[in-house]
Amino acid sequence: MSALDGLVHCAIEGEAVAPPAAAADGTAWLVATGASGDWAGCDGLLALRQTGQWLFAPPRDGMQVLDRGRRQMLHRVAGTWRAPARPPAPVGGAVIDVEARAAIAALVAALQQWAVFPA
């Protein structure tokens, strides 16, 4: 049941090529290309630490994970993990709409708080 919870509400610590030396049960990682050790041959899989062992699961398109290391949500699309980019702040123009800029800034801040955009 904890493996199911780890996948349904997945939060990874980050991406790595080798398992961390002291990984706690309940943590998860994205296995990077060129994996070694206990992760050898598991490139691209999600590694879940459960009861002192590593369980591996293939990510599926449509999955979302919280990358705790980056403090950002990642979305699986067309076989790759994608992170939304923070939109640029409005600049320039002869007339500056202060209210619009404040609204955009508040929207970006809210999306950062929810880990949609990086901080």
Q: What SS3 string covers the chain?
A: CHHHHHHHCCEECCEECCCCCCCCCCCEEEECCCCCHHHCCCCCCEEEEECCEEEEECCCCCCEEEECCCCEEEEEECCEEECCCCCCCCCCCCCCCHHHHHHHHHHHHHHHHCCCCCC
Of residues 12 and 82, the one with the higher pLDDT is 12
pLDDT > 90: what percent of the chain? 50
Q: What's the whole-number mean pLDDT along residues 96-118?
A: 81
Q: What's the whole-number mean pLDDT along residues 96-112?
A: 82
Asked whether 47 and 58 are in contact (CB, 8 A), the reply is: no
